[in-house]
Amino acid sequence: MTLELIRSDCLRPIVHGFFTRKGGSSSGIFAGLNCGPGSSDQSEAVTMNRSRVAQEIGVAPDHLVTVHQVHSPDVVALDSVPATRPRADAMVTSTPGLALGILTADCQPVLFADAASGVVGAAHAGWKGALAGVLEATLDAMEALGAKRETTSAAIGPTISQRAYEVGQEFFENFMDDDPENSRFFINGVDGKYQFDLPAYGLFRLRRAGIGRAEWTRHCTYSDPARFFSYRRTTHAGEADYGRLISVIRL
């Protein structure tokens, strides 16, 4: 089966793609294109899947770079393939042929590009990273390489949508403590719970930071099991593990 990519008009003509789970060599609960080495999937299958992604993006497998994601605001600037995976949640580069990959399974994969300046970035922005400022930190790191935020575009790929993202009081209070205006990203759920709009929050943070253009592809990971892995859906189903989607950008 061929791989399926979702692309964003705001990132063209930069080579990029938010890959779905379609295609790939994994089986069982990981069926399809599981690209997460941290999963309990067979390592050979994950390696093969990542090689297919690299081929689709047009780089050698060892030039598809991912980080050890830790839900932080930390960003690394890369000019070559690192010897080991950095502990960070975003990457930026101005080096052609270096593909930046982000792994997700409900969190926001965010791809950045300033085509005029020749700088790209990729960020893993779950609620913790977004609240801590990973999106703004990515823009700062891109600027350090020569990008201009007013000519930079960002696309949020498949992520969990508000209708599927139920959270509790403590979660809500984390956002209220940061800024009472964050209440706009919550609606009342059932039994005293809330529904949180993660992609709307991500877009708000990007636009407040002065980015030139930002959009969400409007795909919900939880609601479409045929196309996307979802940590929350796996948890609700009582499954032992879950696959990871990959989103990639390169110059």
Residue with tokens 């709009």: 197
Q: 194-196 and 166-167 as β-strands: parallel, antiparallel, unpaired?
A: antiparallel
Task: Catalogue all structural domains in the chain, each as residue range(s) with its CATH number.
Answer: 5-161+197-250 (3.60.140.10)
For residue 13, whether the previous peptide bond is cis, meaning omega lies within 30 degrees of 0, is yes
φ/ψ of 249, rounded to 5, equals -145, 145
- Tell me what pLDDT residue 74 has: 98
pLDDT at 55: 97
What is residue 107's DSSP assignment? Answer: S
What is the tens place of the pLDDT at every residue in 101-160? 999 999 999 999 999 999 999 999 999 999 999 999 999 999 999 999 999 999 999 999
Q: pLDDT averaged over the chain?
A: 97
pLDDT > 90? residue 56: yes
What's the pLDDT band for 179 if we cut at 50, 70, 90? very high
Distance from the Cα of residue 53 to its chain's centroid = 15
Cα-flanking dihedrals φ and ψ of residue 182, to 5°? -65, -10
- Dump pLDDT digits (tens) for 69-107: 999 999 999 999 999 999 999 999 999 999 999 999 999
Residue 48 confidence class, pLDDT cut points 50, 70, 90: very high
